[in-house]
Amino acid sequence: MPILIVVNDPEEWPLTVPGATVISARSYLADPHYANLHGAKVFNCCRSYRYQSTGYYVSLLAVARGHKPFPNITTIQDMKSPSIVRLMSDDIEELIQHSLADIRSSKFTLSIYFGKNVARKYDKLSTQLFRMFQAPFLRAQFIRNGHWELRGIGPISAMEIPDQHQPFVKQEAAEFFGSHRFSVQPRTVGRYELAILADTTGKNWASDDPAIKKFVKAAASLGIETEVIDKDDFGRVAEFDALFIRETTSVNHHTYRFSRRGVEEGLVVIDDPESILKCTNKVYLAELLDHYKVRTPKTLIVHKDNIDYIVPQLGLPFVLKQPDSSFSQGVVKIEEASEVRPRVEAMLEHSELVIAQEFLPTRFDWRICILDRKPLFACKYFMASKHWQIIHRDEKNEEDFGRVQSVPVELVPTMVMRTALKAANLIGDGLYGVDLKQVNRLCHVIEVNDNPTIQSGFEDALLKDELYRRVMEVFLTRLERRRQGIPA
């Protein structure tokens, strides 16, 4: 993969990077050779990235040519937005306070060279900021107003690097370009590059490590090169052709920001931000399913003025849900009339609306997984022992799970499958897990999940490796359609 370092004037460029080609911005923009170069990584080290400047056009045209610019246009725009800078810095608030705790002045400037600072004590902070705002050379401005705040961050040119920093920058540049990720040495590269966003440090509900490895293996068999990334790799999204989110999603969460960034950069993204928005809010789902006549348990959207209507309409017991609840968290069963008002008012402190739903006791819930508007697999999720949900959390937050039984999709009752497909198709063409309860001859949709669990040994019990291959085949088909310019 060709590595291009694009600068205003190559004669002024102070660094030597073995294996990389240093060219002028004018050459990159005007020379047909570079326009026709396939799969290049373009390190834009121009003096300025301001709107419609030479540096701006280098990153802009790199995207149009199918190259991988560094920084990309979205990063350039994000650095100019105070609201984005503030939002991103919130994710590393604790690190900022810890790193700058010993500084006595009210202002501090941090120079970041390929994710490092000349003072090792700022390396962690430098690395995190570099991952969020990926540009070769950055300068971050902090102010202290009671506590430290990131006031602004932006790129600097190589010409602005102090002479005393030059040896350090040359060393970091050599290490950066010599790393596996940006190696200029030839290596086997798939037709496409896929990023799988997963929680590699904690409990990953969406897919466990064995399942993630099976996704990677399936992708490789189709010529797709895969890298597992985490929340610290936000700035790298544009390096890939596709993004597969295998973390529990939420709107006020890095998963949603990753999804949005992926769509903005033209990646194939599962799950897309619209699906996350729709599925993670149960108020929206309740209204959507009701509008399109999809059967659900009796449901009431609750606000502060209709609390007294819940019991007359739904009876006791009933289920109360936070709009963004997931994996049985934020979901409670109300059994006594005296519980209703305090429980509801407590939830309304966090959201203007909550969901109250008729309680339908069943031995198991159906989970029908839909991908690309077609069934992928089916399971029965049985209730945890002596509990009304599939997950039982005790006072110590320890968990007990009901058993999972995989069912061939062709053996799923027609009513269940038809209802699941109708509900999922109202959301989109992504990967969805539709939860349903079958009561006598009626089928009720409980919810539609945008990031259904696929764990090794459970959901894949029947299809095994074929399940993972089918998911990757959808990515491949969409990537091929995108390359051919065919609308999604």
Domain-wise residue ranges, the chain: 192-274+470-483, 298-359, 361-449
Mean pLDDT by 10 residues, the chain (488 residues): 88 77 93 88 85 85 85 82 83 92 94 94 93 89 93 84 88 75 46 90 78 96 95 86 94 88 90 91 89 94 93 94 72 93 92 91 96 98 88 74 94 97 96 96 94 95 97 96 80
Tokens of 385: 């022992």
pLDDT of residue 181: 52
Contact between 187 and 2 (Cβ < 8 Å): no
| CATH, range 192-274+470-483 | 3.40.50.20
Strand partners, 404: 381
In CATH terms, the superfamily for domain 298-359 is: ATP-grasp fold, A domain (3.30.1490.20)
Helix, strand, coil percentages for the chain (3-state, nearest 5)? 40, 25, 35
pTM of the model: 0.74
Q: At what angle do helices 82-90 and 73-80 cross, to 10 degrees?
A: 90
pLDDT of residue 468: 98
pLDDT of residue 185: 42
Whole-angstrom Cα distance, residue 320 to residue 332? 5
Say which CATH architecture domain 361-449 belongs to: 2-Layer Sandwich (3.30)
Q: What angle do CA 421, 426, 432 make, to 5 degrees?
A: 60
| Alpha-carbon dihedral angle through residues 222, 226, 228, 229, given to the nearest 10 degrees | -130
CA distances from 400 to 277, 328, 390, 394, 457 (A): 29, 12, 8, 8, 17
